[in-house]
Amino acid sequence: MGLMAARHFVLPERATPGTVVCSADSVVVERGGRALLDAVSLDVRAGEVLALLGPNGAGKSTLLNLLSGDTVPDRGEVFFGGRRIAEWSLSELSRRRSVLLQDNQLLFPFTVHQVVEMGRAPWRRTPLEDDDNEAIAESIRAADVAHLGNRRVPSLSGGERARAAFARVLAGRTGVLMLDEPTAALDLGHQEAVLGIARDRARAGDAVIVVLHDLNLAGAFADRIALLQDGRIVACDAPDRVLTADIVSEVYRTPVEVIPHPVTGAGIVLPRRG
């Protein structure tokens, strides 16, 4: 690494738990005359897992893309680290937040190890480049892809690709994780493992925002849930205050009941049948 690059590198500051690390302020996103998001405001805090829930087309992925800086609102503002997100360069953002996209196909013939290495790209020519090998190895273990290291991505199953992509995001070691449906292609054990890692990262002080379709996973692992419907947030609070039978039945337009988990007591959402 060159002396000039080292001299100008500023290590991203770690946010104090409870601090707002990014936020949307009355954001509007319109496409084809339709509002995908309509005057949405939301804060994401260090030290928490914030789950975005809602029916198909509610605006979950659009909101995540706004908070990551990948989408620009038609109206309203997005802030990251106390500044308008547009004021950050892409390289500065990439060292402060890691993003797992919903459409993460990874179809190029890279090996799994090469894919995970890509997560370290933001730290090239910085002092933290020295952590590459440790970060890559740790992420490969956490995502349970060590046995796949030399396999080429197109040969993998959907779940294996998803875990390789998750390992890439973990390797970045940023203070904000933004995950769009990270459990969609995973089996039960790996779903629990991925969200357990998200929970651990939040306990360590990181901010985690995750789009989910499984209400019960969100209820088990999230500190707060933002429930979207037709481009608006209709509820944002602790899981037991959001995942009630009345609220879920209305938003998803199907009757449900909520029963306590026999061990944890957390609410379990079930469709009302029979």
User: pLDDT tens digits, residue range 23-34?
Assistant: 999 999 999 889
For residue 65, what are its two tokens? 């893309």
Q: Looking up tokens 């997005």, which residue turns up?
A: 78
Q: Reduced to 3 states, what is the DSSP secondary structure of residue 2?
A: coil
pLDDT value at position 214?
A: 96
Beta strands, E only, the chain: 20-31, 34-45, 49-53, 75-80, 83-84, 98-100, 176-180, 207-211, 224-229, 232-237, 256-260, 267-271
pLDDT at 9 over 90: no
Q: How confident is the model at residue 8 (pLDDT cuts 50, 70, 90)?
A: low
Of the pLDDT bands very low, low, confident and very high (cuts 50, 70, 90), residue 14 is confident
Percent of the chain at pLDDT > 90 equals 86
pLDDT at 1 over 50: no
Q: Report, as an integer, the average pLDDT of 91-111.
A: 85
Instruction: Give 107's pLDDT tier (boundaries 50, 70, 90).
Output: low
Q: Residue 12: which pLDDT band, with cuts at 50, 70 and 90? A: confident
CB atoms within 10 A of CB 243: 25
- Residue 60: the pLDDT is 97
Residue type, 15: A
CB 52 within 8 A of CB 212: yes
| Residue with token string 């970045």 | 172
What is the H or E stretch that residue 87 is in? none
Contacts (Cβ under 8 Å, ≥6 apart) of 101: 180
Name the pLDDT band for 106 (thresholds 50, 70, 90): low
pLDDT value of residue 4: 43
Domains of the chain with CATH codes: 13-97+174-271 (3.40.50.300), 104-173 (no CATH)
- What is the pLDDT, as a whole number, of residue 108? 75
Paired tokens of 247: 């609220």
59-85: pLDDT as tens digits: 999 999 999 999 999 999 999 999 999
pLDDT tens, position by position, 120-139: 999 999 999 999 999 999 99
Strand, coil or helix: 91? helix
